[in-house]
């Protein structure tokens, strides 16, 4: 019994050792727990307005995405206006544009020409480039017709000799006003070749001065044409030099690269800066050995790489007329337009479009010419038309 009482006493002692007395119940209310504060809403920021450049690019991409392959390929052809079926062909081949020559303007009155050109535009689903070679001097497709202008436009050398650069600028504006009134939107001018030797084949069509003076001439002419909404085409890249006439045969340019970088390229670079998207570059059929000893410049990827990378040009590049004898032998199967597009041209100048367009479509179908290349070229052509206010 004593052991039991002792054990109970020890147990009670151990259970109470060090324990705090139980707290008395509080009559104070428990503090209220506040709900977490709602986060402040982020202010709604309006989306930035697209820039004019972004809107323009979106317009081109929308148009491009809605086009068929046939329509895209047709846009890559800037062709000699046929003597017949021009209206029908503008629609059937989805052509990028027509170039009119003396045959197409001879004896026509201004009203005749206006109505004819408008009939071409009415037939086209996408507005056409309507071009002409109106350089002045020996190349005057329009002003050789007295119904359109009383006198032929003077040559660049005559203008410069009589009134310097001011005369050049005034002449460019007068041409632009006449061409625009008739329905043209592209003048395949100015000639950007450098020539100071009257013995050169190209000399009479040039300013006849050194590279610096020619660069200023080209910049003035292209700038005036841009202000007037007239497309310009600088020719003949990479510079004609003293080469022979490629209309009748092959011309081989053996000058070193330094000649081009220190002289021939200067007028083209000046015109590119002045044109701001309204100027194009036409590539010659000369074989330029320092860039490509095997192919004419118009068919040479190497020459186009120089134009794109060395000079940084991202506008429209076009061939000289592929009907010339200088390029006839380079496509064994006759598909010279396919070679031109593979080389990097965006526009093909040719008379033989009824044969060449099917060959390009066949090349796209069999993978010889990539659809990416067609899209790239068509995008540039459409952008040029957009910059000229045609779209």
In whole angstroms, give the CA distance from residue 65 to residue 71: 11
3-state secondary structure at position 51: coil
pLDDT tens, per residue, the chain with 391 residues: 333 333 334 333 333 433 444 444 445 555 555 556 667 777 778 888 889 899 999 999 999 999 999 999 999 999 999 999 999 999 999 999 999 999 999 999 999 999 999 999 999 999 999 999 999 999 999 999 999 999 999 999 999 999 999 999 999 999 999 999 999 999 999 999 999 999 999 999 999 999 999 999 999 999 999 999 999 999 999 999 888 776 666 789 999 999 999 999 999 999 999 999 999 999 999 999 999 999 999 999 999 999 999 999 999 999 998 987 778 788 878 899 999 999 999 999 999 999 999 999 999 999 999 999 999 999 999 999 999 999 9
Q: What is the distance between the alpha carbons of residues 358 and 96, in angstroms, rounded to a whole number?
A: 15
- Third-level CATH fold of 67-387: TIM Barrel (3.20.20)
Helix residue spans in 228-300 (DSSP H): 257-259, 265-275
Rounded to two decimals, the pTM is 0.87
| Phi, psi (rounded to 5 degrees) for 18 | 75, 0
Phi and psi of 135, rounded to 5°?
A: -75, -35
Nearest to 98 by CA among 186, 230, 181: 186
Q: How many CB atoms lie within 10 A of CB 122?
A: 10
């Amino acid at each position: 019994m004593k052991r039991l009482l002792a054990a109970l006493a020890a147990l009670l002692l151990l259970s109470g050792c060090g324990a705090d007395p139980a707290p008395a119940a509080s009559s104070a209310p428990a503090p209220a727990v506040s709900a977490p504060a709602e986060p402040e809403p982020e202010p709604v920021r309006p989306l930035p307005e697209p820039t004019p450049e972004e809107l323009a690019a979106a317009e081109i991409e929308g148009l491009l995405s809605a086009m068929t392959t046939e329509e895209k390929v047709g846009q890559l052809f800037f062709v000699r206006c046929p003597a017949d079926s021009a209206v029908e062909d503008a629609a059937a081949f989805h052509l990028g544009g027509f170039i009119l020559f003396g045959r197409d303007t001879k004896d026509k009155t201004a009203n005749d020409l206006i109505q004819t050109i408008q009939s071409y535009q009415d037939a086209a689903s996408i507005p056409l480039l309507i071009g002409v070679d109106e350089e002045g001097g020996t190349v005057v497709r329009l002003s050789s017709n007295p119904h359109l202008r009383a006198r032929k436009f003077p040559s660049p050398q005559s203008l410069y000799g009589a009134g310097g650069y001011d005369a050049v600028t005034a002449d460019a504006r007068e041409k632009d006003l006449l061409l625009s009134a008739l329905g043209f939107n592209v003048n395949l001018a100015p000639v950007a070749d450098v020539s100071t030797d009257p013995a050169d084949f190209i000399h009479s069509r040039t300013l006849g001065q050194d590279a610096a003076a020619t660069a200023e001439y080209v910049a003035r002419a292209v700038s005036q044409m841009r202000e007037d909404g007239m497309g310009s085409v600088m020719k003949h890249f990479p510079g004609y030099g003293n080469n022979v006439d490629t209309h009748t045969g092959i011309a081989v340019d053996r000058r070193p690269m330094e000649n081009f970088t220190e002289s021939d390229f200067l007028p083209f670079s000046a015109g590119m800066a002045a044109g701001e998207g309204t100027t194009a570059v036409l590539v010659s059929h000369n074989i330029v050995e320092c860039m490509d000893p095997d192919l004419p410049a118009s068919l040479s990827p190497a020459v186009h790489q120089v134009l794109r990378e060395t000079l940084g040009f991202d506008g429209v590049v076009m061939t000289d007329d592929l009907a010339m004898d200088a390029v006839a032998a380079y496509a064994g199967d006759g598909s010279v337009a396919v070679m031109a597009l593979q080389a990097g041209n965006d526009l093909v100048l040719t008379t033989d479009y009824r044969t060449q367009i099917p060959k390009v479509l066949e090349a796209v179908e069999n993978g010889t010419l990539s659809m990416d290349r067609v899209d790239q070229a068509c995008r540039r052509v459409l952008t040029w038309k957009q910059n000229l206010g045609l779209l």
